[in-house]
């Protein structure tokens, strides 16, 4: 049985992500900071990678999110921190962010730590050690932009792998 997500459901998921991004940027920046999110399915076609509209996805598909911010505030913005949620049912594909992410969260949109996140675990013998959080644990990623001039645009990319699709 092939699992697919309807176009309507995918767009609802993308709309939710856009709302979260807009909410996060509006909290810390002027409302004239414009964000746009696009989602593409990365596929191999004739030996070359091709990005196509992500209108239907199945487990195993790779989705590339492209988030563009444009500064229309009339002034320079300093210390911008764009946040992108990693949707449930997907996992971060490591080493696919552009530019590289600075921080991430495995819990919520306010608990960021340096990327990659190291977690403390207790081993069977009772000792403690730190291990890198698994790709499927990341729920939010965050970049840092030191400065963004008026009318300047910045593009941020990340890929996720679809793990499960609920109908």
Task: Evaluate if residue 4 carries a pLDDT over 50.
Answer: no
26-48 mean pLDDT? 81
Residue 39 near residue 54, CB atoms below 8 Å: yes
Task: Evaluate if residue 9 carries a pLDDT over 80.
Answer: no
pLDDT score, position 164: 83
pLDDT score, position 110: 83
Sheet containing strand 33-45, strands side by side: 48-53, 33-45, 62-71, 153-162, 90-92
Using CA atoms, how far apart are residues 152 and 98, in angstroms rounded to an integer?
A: 17
* Residue that the structure tokens 């499927």 belong to: 136
Residue 138 near residue 84, CB atoms below 8 Å: no
pLDDT tens-digit series, residues 132-160: 999 999 999 999 999 999 999 999 999 99
pTM: 0.78
pLDDT tens-digit series, residues 85-101: 999 999 999 999 999 99
Using CA atoms, how far apart are residues 75 and 8, in angstroms rounded to an integer?
A: 38
């Amino acid at each position: 049985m092939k699992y697919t997500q309807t176009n309507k459901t995918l767009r609802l998921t993308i709309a939710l992500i856009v709302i979260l991004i807009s909410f996060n940027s509006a909290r810390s920046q002027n409302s004239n900071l414009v964000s746009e999110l696009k989602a593409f399915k990365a596929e191999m076609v004739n030996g070359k990678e091709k990005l196509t509209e992500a209108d239907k996805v199945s487990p195993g598909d790779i989705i590339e999110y492209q988030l563009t911010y444009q500064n229309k505030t009339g002034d320079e913005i300093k210390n911008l921190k764009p946040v992108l949620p990693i949707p449930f049912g997907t996992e971060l594909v490591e080493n696919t962010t552009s530019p590289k992410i600075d921080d991430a969260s495995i819990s919520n949109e306010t608990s960021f730590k340096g990327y990659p996140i190291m977690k403390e675990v207790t081993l069977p013998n009772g000792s403690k050690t730190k291990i890198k959080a698994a790709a499927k644990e990341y729920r939010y990623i965050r970049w840092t932009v030191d400065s963004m001039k008026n009318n300047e645009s910045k593009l941020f990319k990340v890929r996720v792998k679809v793990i499960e699709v609920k109908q």
